[in-house]
Structure 1
């Protein structure tokens, strides 16, 4: 049975934020940005809301028809060093604004935004999978893979590249099965976990 997928609209904002907050509570990167379970549960949703708002405005959010999973995508043109900004001083300003909106006293919000922007490939246009979240009780059913493949099929038809940062070795294995390859250099969070930047060439049929 296929997985029904549709594009999210403004009316989906709150369910998407709740879904991402739930899906990433135990993620190693979220744990680094918001250390401590109580602190994370009180604050993490603000970062998910900021990401959701950016992608609703500038990209595309795909959701499964049952609302159990979602994927946040941005189309990044060649020459744009990172998603959602202008690079250089603008990149730093974006990171600062994100921290001020989400958690002004938490420098790690700004740190991770800068590090991800700096590692983002700038030479070729690509589709950027910013985040993908699956409700914990529904993980392992193939919903995430279906969401990603939904866009990768278009990438293959149109000759588009794709990029993401895997937040765990386990998720990296899933992306490898979908045609992504590790770029060869991890994104290392200070005193924290690694992220695995991954790139995908379009497949010709």
Structure 2
């Protein structure tokens, strides 16, 4: 599939936040973080904006040139990182101070995040609701996974629903074996990907099949 991908910058912020808000507002995890639907409509975009700002400052953001999909990535070194313990509390204070679940999900995903090996972390990928099922998300992820295979890099993510878990499995990710169970809520599936052999002159992983 011919998807033109570019790096997003600060000038794309409003469009990307709008896309992430639309793509994830009814996701099981977002619904758990903001169980009241009206409150979710008011504050969910702020959470997406906070995630985007972190990616723009500490990682990178890939966007389909037509604006239909976006992916937030970090390069994570091996070992415990400074400031990790304060991060969830700071996120809660910035987004929704009276909502303990904003902090809790950050703490739980942080505790499950592997620290033994450096990796590329796919924090979020959002596809416009009316464009889902066209393979745009696979193409967006595949651009980074191709580099992972070429450079021998590992990759990690948390799947938030069964549909995305199936997609990531096709892309070479494997469930680590222990879900992240949100209290009285859904589960997330941590998934790890080993680099695949890379064929000179082309990618041989078959991720777009």
Q: What is the TM-score when the length of structure 2 is the normalising length?
A: 0.93
Choose the corresponding residue for 1:107, options 100, 108, 115.
100
Task: Name the Cα RMSD after superposition.
Answer: 0.8
Tell me the CA shift for residue 99 of structure 1: 0.3
- Determine the structure 1 residue equivalent to 2:132: 139
Q: Does 1:196 align with 2:189?
A: yes
Give aligned pairs, total. Answer: 198
Looking at structure 1, the residues matched to 62 and 177 of structure 2 have their Cα atoms a distance apart, in angstroms, of 29
Tell me the CA shift for residue 91 of structure 1: 2.5
Which residues in structure 2 correspond to 1:57-96 (within 5 Å)? 57-80=57-80, 86=82, 90-96=83-89
Report the secondary structure of 2:156's partner residue: strand
Q: What is the TM-score when the length of structure 1 is the normalising length?
A: 0.95
Which residues in structure 2 correspond to 1:1-205 (within 5 Å)? 1-80=1-80, 86=82, 90-205=83-198
Tell me the CA shift for residue 94 of structure 1: 1.1
Looking at structure 1, the residues matched to 171 and 141 of structure 2 have their Cα atoms a distance apart, in angstroms, of 8
- Determine the structure 1 residue equivalent to 2:201: none
Q: Structure 1 residue runs of 4+, over 2 Å off?
A: none
Report the secondary structure of 1:91's partner residue: coil
Tell me the CA shift for residue 36 of structure 1: 2.1
Unmatched tracts of structure 2, length 5 or more: 199-209
